[in-house]
Amino acid sequence: EPELNSFAEFYIDKWDENTSEDVIAESFTDFWWDTDKACRRCSECGRLMRAGYCADMGVAYYCSDECLHSDFTDEEWAEECENN
């Protein structure tokens, strides 16, 4: 709760009714990037996520099996896990 209030106070004067969902989502990831509540954005669908898959040391993130398999087969993902 205190973190959400801090987030809201920081951005309240920066957003208005014309602020895009992309800007808001990026604000979440920026605000919580280096915290214990890190928030990322799925590289495939754009959803905010706190759990899922990370490819190539953070080059891409995937929120679900469906999003992951849009870029990787099971074999390619196994190789990615071995190498990175």
pLDDT, mean of residues 79-83:
92
Residue 46 pLDDT: 92
* Per-residue pLDDT tens over the stretch 47-58: 999 999 999 999
b/e string for 12-43 if b means 16 or more Cβ within 10 A? Answer: eeeeeeeeeeeeebebeeebbeeeeeebbbbb
Domain boundary assignment for the chain:
1-38, 40-84
* Per-residue pLDDT tens over the stretch 11-34: 888 888 899 888 888 888 888 888
Residue 34 pLDDT: 82
